[in-house]
Amino acid sequence: MDEDFVGVFDSGVGGISILKKLTDLLPREDFLFYGDSANAPYGEKSEEEVRALSMDIIDRLVSRGAKAVVIACNTATSAVAQQAREKYPYVPIVGVEPAVKPAAMKLTHKKVLVMATPQTLAREKYKNLASRFEEQASLIPLACPGLASRIERGDLGGEDLHQMLYDLLSPYVGQVDGVVLGCTHYPFVKPQIRKVLGDIPFFDGGEGTARQLRRRLTEEGFLTDRTTPGWVIFDSSIKTEQEIVLYERMFSLAGDC
Ligand code: DGL
């Protein structure tokens, strides 16, 4: 592997929704995606556990030669981004956060449901973000325990998934004007969420993260000068062929996210 790739990681398949946006915007860059599916879900672990797991992955990506790291997980970003930037000041480290800002800008004085993991919503980082925009829009946080794990299984058509979304979301039908998908797993079930909540606007951090990566690589002079398409490689803490096949399938589905 040459030492000019961008390392991207998540607790599992969710980060693949971000990876797709990165490869769309930066098709000539090389990407190594690492999913920590053996330890998913992060959103129901303590902050210390998520920080230790995430820092270990960042250490390994940097030692394999990553020129930049994208933390494609809202939960891990709140737990580790700041420390990782202090530890590796020479490596651009880009995180994701719930897309509250674009939602509040677009839906001024309206009601916005913010779906995320229990850990993301409990962190100081989210509270600060929400307080910056609470005048702009009425934000309704909704912790969704179990949803990322269910998506992690990959079978997205099951009746049990529809029932889980119905149980979580039916109190908000007709009550909200837009939805923030504050966990990178959730864009994979956007059609299923829309089935319950109807045709309202959705916001996620994918495109903003891709623009931020391009900005940071440009600032550091790290953009590739290659003119041919880059590669995308998948790796996982579940060391089976099927897991990599699942990641590749999710990457092809991510085009519709
Ligand atoms: N995909 C992650 C996020 O964006 C977390 C999912 C999990 O709980 O592992 O927060």
Q: What is the pLDDT of residues 15-51, one digit of tens each?
A: 999 999 999 999 999 999 999 999 999 999 999 999 9
pLDDT digits (tens, 9 = 90+) for 94-152: 999 999 999 999 999 999 999 999 999 999 999 999 999 999 999 999 999 999 999 99
- Asked whether residue 2 carries a pLDDT value surpassing 90, the answer given is no
In DSSP terms, 236 is beta-bridged to 35
pLDDT value, residue 257: 77
Fold of 5-96+205-256: Rossmann fold (3.40.50)
pLDDT value, residue 202: 98
- Asked whether residue 1 carries a pLDDT value surpassing 70, the answer given is no
pLDDT band for 65, please (50, 70, 90 cuts). very high
Rounded Cα–Cα distance for residues 135 and 112 (Å): 12
Rounded Cα–Cα distance for residues 135 and 154 (Å): 38
User: Quick one: which atom of ligand 1 is closest to the CA of 14?
Assistant: 1
* Residue spans per domain, the chain: 5-96+205-256, 100-203
pLDDT value, residue 133: 97
Which run of H or E residues covers position 79? Answer: helix 74-87
CATH code assigned to 100-203: 3.40.50.1860
- Which residues does a 6 A CB cutoff place in the pocket of ligand 1? 10-12, 14, 40-43, 73-75, 117, 120, 148, 183-185
Query: How far away, in angstroms, is 126 Cα from ligand 1 center?
Result: 14
Which run of H or E residues covers position 31? Answer: strand 30-35
User: Is residue 100 within 8 Å of 123, Cβ to Cβ?
Assistant: no
Instruction: Confirm whether 5-96+205-256 and 100-203 share one CATH topology.
Output: yes
Q: Give the global pTM.
A: 0.96
Q: What mean pLDDT comes out for the span 53-78?
A: 97
Q: What percentage of the chain's residues is helix, strand, coil (to nearest 5)?
A: 50, 15, 30
Rounded Cα–Cα distance for residues 213 and 156 (Å): 29
